[in-house]
Structure 1
Amino acid sequence: MTATDDKTVVREYFNATGFDRWQRIYGDGEVNKVQLDIRKGHQQTVDTLMGWLEADGNLAGLSCCDAGCGVGSLTIPLAQAGAQVYASDISAKMVEEARQRAEVALEGKNLPTFEVKDLEELAGRYHTVICLDVLIHYPQDKVQGMISHLGSLAESRLIMSFAPKTLFYSALKKVGEFFPGPSKTTRAYLHREADIVKALEAEGWRIERRTLTKTQFYFSRMLEAVKDQ
């Protein structure tokens, strides 16, 4: 399957059955045990990231790009903390859901800018570019180019999370336990941390902070990369 085919599959999935599935997972309604576990894991990643940014003490007014915003799980707390947020996603349904959630949560104040775009179409310059749990849709041979592109948008910091490729997680994926559920139809690409770090360092980035979030069904390595001014 080509990268273009992957992108088409992802777009169609998240505008159809995938939207219904992940809207529930990233909501607050009743879900099954597996979906609840994934919800909690993703929220841990968001909470950890917000903790990093808030600890720096300069989040208010900071320009941030939430690349692959989904239903706004990160976009909204960023805006609530005072950041100026540009948020995008490949799925029009996801973007509309994120926009509606933001309008309710923010009560019309400091609303993010939302657009329907895939990662390759993103443009502009932002202090911080964030891309959470999106690289799972990109094969390894496309990751270097994606990191280079996202890095070109970031003035000072690039934060990415991805499903780590280890023998253990690869084995889980093979037996269908890594991303369970019959409605999951997109390919799930795991990435070795060493490969991601190498790609970042090749673009002049330095790893500042890192963490691993793991629950029973959710595994995500997050890296914060910075450039010395």
Structure 2
Amino acid sequence: MNDYSTTRDRVEHYFDRTATHTWERLTSSAPVSRIRQTVREGRDTMRAKMLWRLPKDLTGLRVLDAGCGAGQMTAELAARGAQVMAVDISPQLVEIARKRLPPEHQDRVTFASGDMLADDLGRFDYVVAMDSLIYYTDADIAAALDRLGARTRHSVVFTVAPRTPFLMAFWTMGKLFPRSDRSPVMIPHPFQPLNEATGGRLVKVGRVSRGFYISECLEFRP
């Protein structure tokens, strides 16, 4: 997965060295611009949609929060009783997530910084990967899901950027005018080719479109 590794390294550089403060503020209750407010609201809606695919009571179940970021999903999983492995490529974001986790949930969460696909993270009942696969190709996403699915009892709930005119324009601009200080360019995906790449094991969950946040929730069944 050479392409995966190259993209992962770009994502690590961006979130750990360039955008930590931006994401810390975006995922807090601090005032943000109107554009970023739509992203915040969109992410809140998507997180709820992903959690809807998991049991309300996760007591006794082990869940991987793959790309935990600042820890909002991690805290909600722990509040449902899950034993959570929260991993992110950015050590700085992991530290923010650790500090924000309510004390009453700390015994249910293990934090780690590194590759969300690492085999030594163990086996899980569910995996959630919110906006952590949006920078990868069909082939890399399919390979990542196979790797996660081999260690997952039930399902992997994840998001991709859907192929919409707006996101395609964004993607084209990003390819034409790369900048070292900009987020790695997300890759928009139509459902059918991605589903075929995974052997037809995807289920559509739903799309969230709120201002500058457009994301598609899918479920992979190993």
In structure 1, what is the Cα distance between the partners aligned to 2:70 and 2:111?
A: 11
Note the alpha carbon deviations across 1:112-161, whole angstroms, 9 max, x for none.
11111113324411010111111122123322211111111211111111
The structural deviation recorded for 1:74 is: 0.5
Structure 2 residue identity aligned to 1:219:
I
Please list every run of 5 or more consecutive structure 1 residues that lacks an aligned counterpart in the other structure: 177-181
* Counterpart for residue 208 of structure 2: 213
In structure 2, what is the Cα distance between the partners aligned to 1:49 and 1:21?
A: 23
Query: What percent of counterpart residues are identical?
Result: 28
The structural deviation recorded for 1:201 is: 3.4
Note the alpha carbon deviations across 1:171-193, whole angstroms, 9 max, x for none.
244357xxxxx953322222222
SS in structure 2 at match of 1:201: coil
In structure 2, what is the Cα distance between the partners aligned to 1:84 and 1:146?
A: 22
In structure 2, what is the Cα distance between the partners aligned to 1:125 and 1:3?
A: 21
In structure 2, what is the Cα distance between the partners aligned to 1:10 and 1:57?
A: 32
Seen in structure 2, the aligned counterparts of structure 1 residues 200 and 140 have a Cα distance that, compared at 3 Å, is closer
Note if contact 1:76-1:106 (Cα within 8 Å) is conserved in structure 2.
no
Aligned-CA RMSD value: 2.4
In structure 2, what is the Cα distance between the partners aligned to 1:100 and 1:37?
A: 25
- The yes-or-no answer on 1:78 pairing with 2:77 is yes
Structure 2 residue identity aligned to 1:114:
F
- The yes-or-no answer on 1:19 pairing with 2:46 is no
Please list every run of 5 or more consecutive structure 2 residues that lacks an aligned counterpart in the other structure: 175-179
The structural deviation recorded for 1:8 is: 2.0
In structure 1, what is the Cα distance between the partners aligned to 2:12 and 2:29?
A: 24
- The yes-or-no answer on 1:226 pairing with 2:218 is no
TM-score with structure 2 length normalisation? 0.86
In structure 2, what is the Cα distance between the partners aligned to 1:21 and 1:57?
A: 31
SS in structure 1 at match of 2:150: helix
* Counterpart for residue 164 of structure 1: 162
SS in structure 1 at match of 2:63: strand
Note if contact 1:158-1:225 (Cα within 8 Å) is conserved in structure 2.
yes
For residues 51-70 of structure 1, the aligned pairs below 5 Å read 51-53=52-54, 56-70=55-69
Seen in structure 2, the aligned counterparts of structure 1 residues 122 and 218 have a Cα distance that, compared at 3 Å, is farther
In structure 1, what is the Cα distance between the partners aligned to 2:93 and 2:64?
A: 16
* Counterpart for residue 97 of structure 2: 98
The structural deviation recorded for 1:213 is: 0.7
Note the alpha carbon deviations across 1:31-62, whole angstroms, 9 max, x for none.
11111110110010111222332xx4442222
* Counterpart for residue 179 of structure 1: none
